[in-house]
Amino acid sequence: MNLFDITGKKAIVTGGTRGLGFGMAEGLMEAGCEVAIVGTSDKVFDVAKGFCDKGFKCYGVKANLAHREEVYRAFKECVEKLGGDLDILVTAHGIQRRHSAEEFPLNEWDEVIDVNMNSVFILCQEAGKIMLAKGYGKIINIASMVSWFGGQTIPAYAAAKGGVTQLTKELSNDWIARGVNVNAIAPGYMATDMNEALLDKNNPRYMQITERIPAKRWGTGQDMKGACIFLASHASDYLGGAIIPVDGGYLVK
Ligand SMILES: NC(=O)c1ccc[n+]([C@@H]2O[C@H](COP(=O)([O-])OP(=O)(O)OC[C@H]3O[C@@H](n4cnc5c(N)ncnc54)[C@H](O)[C@@H]3O)[C@@H](O)[C@H]2O)c1
């Protein structure tokens, strides 16, 4: 048996329209999976078509995961497009809001917690129902360096990612003996739209961060593929509640 073989598996990747989600969706398709991607705008249909044009099986589902009813609808639509089954869930959607903690607006706090944490629980819960019923499934949440560090000017994001980290461990404890692995990838500093402000070469933080990364470069969606395929395959069957840094060595420096 090829431990990493995921040919024919059915996957949902939220945030699959760009950045890290795009990279992981592409990686899963290259490895033979059929993938439903979720995004906020009509762009999700263009991205899905782009993948289909390359010969992959990909479906686009448009939804705003800030709203609970949209989370349920998006999940249901994805599973329908995948023919009523699901093997792999990757929760790679997310937003960032930056303000000093003492002035952080509560409406933005609610938005970040809803998008980055509450929707993740609902998606895991719905995926878990299908996976537990057949005794097989792989859930891959996307954590962060602020699963360990506190961060600065990002209290809602740090709280949400801390929540996703703990949720990943809890779900693993509940489900691993029943065939469902729940783990997370914690990306380091990645060159995506989310970090537009930090990636500005005139921002002093850009060089400070780049210098601190032992790999001496920011990561990309491509860098997420290996860990994602590992966690989506039988190769990770005995892994539970692990938070795997994909960070160019940043965490241990
Ligand atoms: N970029 C980094 O350095 C970094 C580091 C650690 C963790 N992460 C996490 O990785 C994940 C992907 O981030 P990225 O860097 O690719 O960001 P990105 O901004 O490039 O992509 C975010 C994706 O999330 C989707 N999304 C945002 N709000 C949504 C909503 N309300 N409903 C549905 N979809 C929504 C967007 O459509 C997009 O596809 C996020 O969970 C993020 O927190 C990123």
The predicted structure's pLDDT at residue 193: 95
User: 147 CB contacts (<8 Å, ≥6 apart)?
Assistant: 161, 162, 164, 165, 184, 186, 243
Residue 87, token pair as written in the block:
């093997």
Pocket of ligand 1 (CB under 6 A): 14-15, 17-21, 38-40, 63-66, 92-95, 115, 142, 144, 187, 189-190, 192-195
- What atom in ligand 1 is closest to the CA of residue 18? 39
**Average of per-residue pLDDT across 112-127:** 98
**Average of per-residue pLDDT across 144-157:** 97
The DSSP secondary structure of the chain, one letter per residue, reads --TT--TT-EEEEETTTSHHHHHHHHHHHHTT-EEEEEESSTHHHHHHHHHHHTT--EEEEE--TTSHHHHHHHHHHHHHHTTS--SEEEE---------GGG--HHHHHHHHIIIIIHHHHHHHHHHHHHHHHT-EEEEEE--GGGTS--SS-HHHHHHHHHHHHHHHHHHHHHGGGTEEEEEEEE-SB-SGGGTTTT-TTSHHHHHHHHHSTTSS-B-GGGGHHHHHHHHSGGGTT--S-EEEESTTGGG-
Burial of 50 (0-12, 13-18, 19+ CB in 10 A): middle
Is 122's pLDDT higher than 90? yes
Q: Could you give the CA distance from residue 71 to residue 174 in angstroms, rounded to a whole number?
A: 22
Q: Could you give the CA distance from residue 57 to residue 28 in angstroms, rounded to a whole number?
A: 11
**Average of per-residue pLDDT across 131-136:** 98
Full-model pTM: 0.98
The predicted structure's pLDDT at residue 179: 98
Is 161's pLDDT higher than 90? yes
**Average of per-residue pLDDT across 116-129:** 98
The predicted structure's pLDDT at residue 191: 97
**Ligand 1 centre from 117 Cα, in Å?**
12
189 catalytic per annotation = no
Gyration radius from the chain CA atoms: 17
Which of the four pLDDT bands, split at 50, 70 and 90, describes residue 52? very high
Residue 66 — left, alpha, or beta (φ > 0 → left; ψ -120 to 50 → alpha)?
alpha
pLDDT per position as a tens digit, 213-242: 999 999 999 999 999 999 999 999 999 999
Sequence spans of domains, the chain: 10-245
Task: Output the average pLDDT for the chain.
Answer: 97
Considering the candidates 59, 72, 157, 189, report the single residue annotated as catalytic: 157
Could you tell me which of 86, 107, 94, 108 has the C-alpha nearest to residue 65? Answer: 94
Residue 201, token pair as written in the block:
């070469």
Is 1's pLDDT higher than 90? no
The predicted structure's pLDDT at residue 50: 98
Q: Which of 22, 37, 40, 209 to mutate to test the pocket of ligand 1 (most atoms within 8 A of CB)?
A: 40
**Average of per-residue pLDDT across 168-189:** 98
Hey, which CATH number is domain 10-245, 3.40.50.150, 3.40.50.300, 3.40.50.720, 3.40.50.1820? 3.40.50.720
Percent of the chain at pLDDT exceeding 90? 98
Which of the four pLDDT bands, split at 50, 70 and 90, describes residue 195? very high
pLDDT per position as a tens digit, 64-104: 999 999 999 999 999 999 999 999 999 999 999 999 999 99
pLDDT per position as a tens digit, 9-49: 999 999 999 999 999 999 999 999 999 999 999 999 999 99
Q: Could you give the CA distance from residue 196 to residue 98 in angstroms, rounded to a whole number?
A: 12
* Chain centroid to CA 24: 8
